[in-house]
């Protein structure tokens, strides 16, 4: 957490307003473009008005929904993401440029990056203002390439075919050729992103403490090119032949207009900061809660028999 993020512990005043509110002087909002966020907005507006806090909307790409006056993320002490994991990713990228922490607010089911449901937002803000939170540092992927390409991802970077035909991908790790293949594309992911597109493409889930990244081919046509886990200090170099239909670049699920022939991906430590409240849910427990990981039917049937007193 940066020294200029003024979030420290102070007691609550008798009338319910947070005495430490001056430590969180300005809050920036990033909102989902369509999801119902009324409860979250009502709660944050009431809290900021009661505590004399400035409330502003942070500018992000393709943002057309306006809920507050515009403000610069560097002028805010805290950024709130109202929506879900995708909105929180947008907020993390915006806040990372100024080193600001992000509190993810779930307007729906609780995801991997959201720390509080919308109905509990006032209590969460009280806790942040008192300094009762922990910074969760997230690594990123820096992706550079031809044409002055320079992007950052928190979950993954994907090259995927955008029309008929296949793309040809050559993968090098630290200057050594791993494999060349034809297929639908490739995913390079952090541990946080390994349970998303990477998992869907048949790649492994990386534990948060693994410190590396994973490279996963998408629907490769023949050959032997399994997913590859590489170390955190490694550089992955991709040479892309887009084929007749072309290929597109996606960074954290957002389509990028760049059409690179060569990409270089490297892990960046401490790219963004996520606000944690209380005891954080373990990574694998979160995957089980959201049913990304599900026990086999035979094991579940055995549990059911045991609960009914059967053998």
Q: Which CATH number do you get for residue 83? A: 3.40.50.10330
164 and 238 inside one domain: yes
Within its chain, how far is the Cα of 2 from the centroid?
Answer: 20
163 and 232 inside one domain: yes
The C-alpha angle with vertex 97 and arms to 172 and 210, in degrees rounded to 5, equals: 45
- List CB contacts of 147: < 8 A, sequence separation 6 or more: 258, 259, 260
- In the 8-state DSSP scheme, what is residue 271? E
Q: Which CATH number do you get for residue 160? A: 2.60.200.30
151 and 222 inside one domain: yes
User: What is the block-wise mean pLDDT of the chain (311 residues), using blocks of 10 residues?
Assistant: 34 36 81 91 94 92 83 94 93 94 91 91 93 92 92 96 92 97 96 94 91 94 94 95 90 89 95 88 86 93 85 58
Catalytic residue set: 85
Residue-level pLDDT at 14:
32
- State residue 200 phi and psi, 5-degree precision: -60, -30
Give the separation between CA 290 and CA 206, rounded to whole angstroms.
17
Radius of gyration in angstroms for the set of CA atoms belonging to the chain, rounded to a whole number: 22
Residue-level pLDDT at 33:
86
Number of structural domains the chain divides into: 2
153 and 228 inside one domain: yes
Residue-level pLDDT at 310:
64
Give the separation between CA 167 and CA 184, rounded to whole angstroms.
6
Residue 73: which domain range? 19-133+277-289
Residue-level pLDDT at 311:
58
The model's pTM: 0.86
């Amino acid at each position: 957490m940066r020294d200029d993020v003024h979030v420290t512990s102070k007691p609550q005043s008798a009338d319910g307003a947070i005495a430490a509110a001056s430590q969180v002087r300005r809050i920036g909002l990033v909102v989902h473009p369509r999801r119902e966020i009324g409860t979250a907005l009502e709660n944050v507006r009431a809290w900021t008005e009661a505590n004399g806090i400035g409330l502003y909307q942070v500018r992000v790409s393709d943002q057309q929904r306006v809920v507050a006056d515009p403000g610069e993320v560097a002028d805010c002490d805290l950024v709130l993401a109202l929506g879900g994991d995708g909105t929180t990713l947008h907020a993390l990228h915006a806040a990372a440029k100024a080193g600001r922490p992000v509190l993810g607010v779930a307007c729906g089911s609780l995801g991997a990056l959201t720390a509080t449901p919308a109905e509990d937002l006032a209590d969460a803000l009280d806790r942040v203002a008192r300094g009762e939170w922990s910074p969760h540092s997230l690594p990123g992927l820096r992706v550079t390439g031809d044409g002055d390409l320079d992007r950052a991802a928190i979950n993954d970077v994907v090259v995927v075919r955008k029309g008929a035909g296949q793309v040809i991908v050559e993968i090098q790790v630290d200057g050594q050729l791993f494999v060349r293949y034809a297929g639908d594309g490739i995913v390079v992911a952090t541990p946080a992103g390994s349970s998303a597109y990477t998992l869907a493409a048949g790649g492994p889930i990386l534990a948060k403490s693994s410190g590396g990244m994973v490279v996963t081919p998408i629907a490769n046509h023949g050959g032997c090119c399994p997913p590859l886990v590489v170390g955190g200090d490694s550089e992955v170099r991709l040479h892309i032949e887009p084929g007749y239909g072309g290929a597109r670049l996606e960074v954290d699920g957002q389509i990028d207009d760049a059409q690179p022939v060569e990409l270089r991906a490297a892990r960046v430590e401490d790219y963004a900061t996520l606000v944690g409240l209380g005891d954080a849910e373990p990574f694998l427990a979160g995957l089980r809660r959201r049913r990304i990981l599900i026990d086999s039917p035979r094991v579940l049937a055995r549990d059911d028999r045991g609960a009914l007193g059967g053998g």
